[in-house]
Chains A and B, each alone.
Chain A
Amino acid sequence: MSEPILSIRGLNAHYGAAHVVQDVSFDVLDEPVCVIGRNGMGKTSLCRALMNLDPPTASGTVLLDGQEISGKAPYAIARAGIGYVPQGRKLFQSLSVDEHLRMIKSPRQGRWSPAAIYELFPRLAERKKISATQLSGGEQQMLAIGRALLLQPRLLLMDEPSEGLAPRIVEELVESLKGFVREGTGVLLVEQNLGVATSVAERLVVMVAGAVFTETTATAMNADPELQQRFLGVTRVEG
């Protein structure tokens, strides 16, 4: 078994008295992992805790390629190699598309440059000069992924990337995620959309009420509607 890219051990997070991430432990190896769960189960809190963004207040151990990153400042965690694509994209309304890409500087050499991002997402190249807020949802997501890639990350941490996107755009997104995985970038995906989750990752971590409820596989999940109903309370929409 290879060395894990990301290793989470006993991660806890609190919003004041509310214990939103409870003793979460799992590893991300070469293959992508998807954390699934219903709304309000602590998925976004988990992402924020991994980035040490306050709130919530996080404690526990997180290793990236064997190096401890927990307790470091968010910028240090990002520079260590986590490319964070937050829920809702969080683009900067004052910046153009091009400026979003030019403001990121990675401490490492790597294959990603603004030119490489434009090659990956040609539609962004056509919209270089316009404000990021005027992009469509799909384009905004491309830009959010693009700027995270410029950090030359070991691991892409993506919080609900399919949210609010048209099915066709989601398909494209899934294809590009699979591409990153083939190139050796780790992917930790947080999703509510089971279709996206199972097509990107075989390993699924199910979160219920802030804790890891179980680990399962996409094959098992897809084969068992009852399992889906129990963990997610949703019926899968065939698309």
Chain B
Amino acid sequence: MSANEGLKAKHVATAGPRVSWSKGTIFLLAVLAVAVLGIGIQAASDATLFAQITLNGLTLAGLYFIVASGFTLIFGLMRVVNMAHGSFYMLGGIIAFLVQERMLKPDPTSFDLPTATFGSFVLPLVIATFSVALLGLIIQQVFLRWNQGQELRQALITIAISIIVADQAVARFGGIAKEISVPIERSIELPIVGNYGTMRLVMLLVAVVVGLLLLGLITRTRFGMIVRAGVDDRQMVTALGIDIQKVFAVAFLLGAFLAGLAGVLGGSVNSVNKADDGKFLLISLVIVIVGGMGSLTGAAIGALLLGLIDSYSDVYLPDAITNYGVLLTFFLLVFVLAVRPYGLFGRPG
């Protein structure tokens, strides 16, 4: 695979200068140049702020990557349209919070949970991620395995599930965002940046570990070989004596597990919020499309771009248009698709 991609990349690189740029691409490049220039000027005027925002972007990218890597497994590789991926994320946070609430027995007059111990953080995390993984597996087995290749049905079924989950979340969790309590110091002192949220750094570390483990799984194991072969030619895989349904089930379990894990981490760093399902589904979609369907490297780069854009646009956009920062995400999508229609690391499939 790598040799092949290398060849393709070389081909693209040599062909690059000869491509006659369309007006749209030139416009997009101009916008990009202005954005980079703007960020550069701001960075020069306040280095500490810039370092903080950049680190914010990186850690946010970590969270995005954990969610999107699960999505790239389910949607990018197994081609199952799972519109409930954001719900898996949200459920991870909600379940962890509810379990932790029971364990910590908070003061009813206070809004926040008391500080967690190691056990009262890890146990809710484990319970939440494994329940979400199990729920994902059940959804796949009960609803989706009968609808292989039927994208519209998959989409409608999972949208229905996400609506049910969203309503139940409001009923049982309420509409107010709440924070999962963590057992470590909230912040530590870093050079240049100053005080910085410890959990955000933990989240980035988890993302790197998850990324490396997944890369190992896909490139080094028999499971990974079957997944990659299945992307190329699913029927041929089954004609070679491999029950691809089992592989699908495992991939779905793993994808839901990662979404649930990200939900708990996100709920510890920011908050558990009933609106997170739609938000993180959208983020996952954008990252997988920008990075290229089924490419882990693509998901990492996509998450990085999205995290940085989110973070920079929050602070550096002029006050009057800060609220429109979300649009930049779609700008990124349009830009990438205009230049590389299959995403940064995608290929026609």
Contacts and interface: CB of A to CB of B under 8 A. Distances in A.
A213 to B, nearest CB: 27
Interface stretch (B17-25, B28-36, B161-169, B220-228): B220-228
A116 B235 CA distance: 26
A103 B233 contact: no
Interface string B124-152: 00000000000000000000000000000
Contacts of A107: 241
B236 interface: yes
A219 interface: no
Interface stretch (A16-24, A73-81, A176-184, A196-204): A73-81
A222 B153 CA distance: 55
A216 B18 CA distance: 60
A53 B235 contact: yes
Contacts of A57: none
A151 interface: yes
Interface in A96-124: 96, 99, 102-107
A78 B242 CA distance: 8
Interface string B234-264: 0110111111100000000000000000000
A92 B236 contact: yes
Contacts of A99: 225
B4 A93 contact: yes
Contact of A131 (B4, B229, B233, B244): B4
Given A92-B228, A94-B231, A95-B225, A104 B4 contact: no
A118 to B, nearest CB: 17
B241 A104 contact: yes
Contact of B238 (A75, A103, A148, A151): A75
A92 B232 contact: yes
Size class of the contact patch on chain A: 20 to 34
B282 to A, nearest CB: 28
B15 interface: no
B238 A73 contact: yes
Contacts of A129: 3
A86 B239 CA distance: 9
A78 B232 contact: no
Given A75-B242, A78-B240, A151-B240, A95 B235 contact: no
A75 B225 contact: no
Interface string A210-230: 000000000000000000000
B321 interface: no
A130 B238 contact: no
B244 A75 contact: yes
A43 interface: no
A78 B241 contact: yes
B241 A131 contact: no
B1 interface: yes
Interface string A66-84: 0000000111001100001
B229 A92 contact: yes
Contacts of B4: 93, 131, 133-134
Interface string B155-188: 0000000000000000000000000000000000
B1 A95 contact: yes
B1 A103 contact: no
B232 A51 contact: no
Contacts of A95: 1, 225, 228-229, 232
Nearest to A107: B241
B3 A94 contact: no
Contacts of B231: 94
A96 B240 CA distance: 16
A53 B239 CA distance: 8
B229 A151 contact: no
A151 B241 contact: yes
A90 B235 CA distance: 10
Contacts of A90: 233, 236
A154 interface: no
B239 A74 contact: yes
Nearest to A80: B241
Contacts of A53: 235, 238-239
B253 to A, nearest CB: 20
Interface string A122-150: 00000001110110000000000001100
Give the residue among B236, B239, B243, B244 with the most A Cβ atoms within 10 A: B239
B82 to A, nearest CB: 22
A94 B241 contact: no
B239 A96 contact: no
Most chain A CB within 10 A, of B4, B225, B241, is at B241
By Cβ-Cβ distance, the 4 closest A-B pairs, closest first, are A78-B241, A94-B228, A92-B229, A103-B225
11 contacts: A74-B235, A75-B240, A78-B238, A84-B239, A86-B236, A95-B232, A99-B225, A106-B241, A131-B3, A131-B4, A133-B4
Given A73-B238, A73-B243, A95-B232, 18 more contacts: A51-B239, A53-B238, A53-B239, A75-B242, A75-B244, A92-B233, A92-B236, A93-B4, A94-B1, A95-B228, A102-B225, A103-B225, A103-B240, A103-B242, A104-B240, A104-B242, A105-B222, A105-B241
